[in-house]
Structure 1
Amino acid sequence: MSLNPLTQLISERGFNRFQSPLRSRFAAYRLEYTLTYCEPTDNSAMRLDFESSLHLGRITVWESGACEMDILEISTGNNVFYESHQLNNEKQFHQTYLRLVIFMRDMLRLKSDNI
Structure 2
Amino acid sequence: MSEIALLDKFVAWVKELAEKARSASLSVNFEICPPTLNPAAKVDFESSEILARITFWGDGSFHAEAIDPGTSTTILSRHGQALTNRAFSEEFRDVLNLVAINSPSRDP
Calculate the TM-score normalised by the size of structure 2.
Answer: 0.74
After superposition, where does 1:49-64 map in structure 2 within 5 Å?
49-64=44-59
| Aligned length, in residue pairs | 101
Superposition deviation, residue 52 in structure 1: 1.2
Higher Rg: 1
**Change beyond 3 A, Cα 1:14–1:96:** closer
**Change beyond 3 A, Cα 1:81–1:14:** closer
**Change beyond 3 A, Cα 1:13–1:58:** same
**Change beyond 3 A, Cα 1:41–1:104:** same
Give the SS at the match of 1:40.
coil
**Change beyond 3 A, Cα 1:63–1:24:** closer
Counterpart Cα distance in 1 of 2:91 and 2:82: 9
Aligned to 2:75: 80
**Change beyond 3 A, Cα 1:18–1:51:** closer
Superposition deviation, residue 83 in structure 1: 1.6
Give the SS at the match of 1:95.
helix
Aligned to 2:5: 8
Give the SS at the match of 1:22.
helix
Computed over aligned residues only, the root mean square deviation of the Cα atoms, in angstroms, reads: 2.7
Contact 1:29 1:105 (C-alpha < 8 Å) held by counterparts = no
Which structure has the highest helix share of the two?
1
Aligned to 1:112: none
Structure 2 residue runs of 5 or longer lacking an equivalent are 102-108
Contact 2:28 2:45 (C-alpha < 8 Å) held by counterparts = yes
**Change beyond 3 A, Cα 1:45–1:90:** farther
After superposition, where does 1:37-56 map in structure 2 within 5 Å?
37-56=32-51
Identity rate of aligned residues, in percent? 24
Aligned to 2:91: 96
